[in-house]
Amino acid sequence: MDAILTFFEDQKVLYKSGPEKDLRIVHSIEMGWFILDKFYALVESTPVYAAAMLLDPSKRKHNLLQNWPEE
């Protein structure tokens, strides 16, 4: 899902100014962002998401490194 949000950010910058300027696309990107944000909040609040993070070693390591960086 992070890849989609990064893509939205890049496209919003592209279509907000310059020769590719199109405010309808910018509005569509913002609406898509809103829906993804709403969905992401629901996913994070479910116990299944937490269980998946604990049970999948690759996700557990990534989550730990991302949220608890070494000092």
Q: Are 3 and 42 in contact (CB under 8 A)?
A: no
The token pair at 52 is: 């998946």
Query: How large is the average pLDDT for residues 7-13?
Result: 92
Residue 60 confidence (pLDDT)? 74
How far is the C-alpha of 50 from the C-alpha of 54, rounded, in Å?
6
Q: Does the predicted model carry a pTM greater than 0.75?
A: no
Residue-wise pLDDT for 31-66, tens only, equals 999 998 898 888 878 888 777 777 887 777 777 777
Residue 19 confidence (pLDDT)? 84
The token pair at 12 is: 């919003």
Tracing tokens 């913002």 back to the chain, one arrives at: 30
pLDDT at 10 over 70: yes
Query: How large is the average pLDDT for residues 4-29?
Result: 90
Q: Are 56 and 49 in contact (CB under 8 A)?
A: no
Q: Are 8 and 35 in contact (CB under 8 A)?
A: no
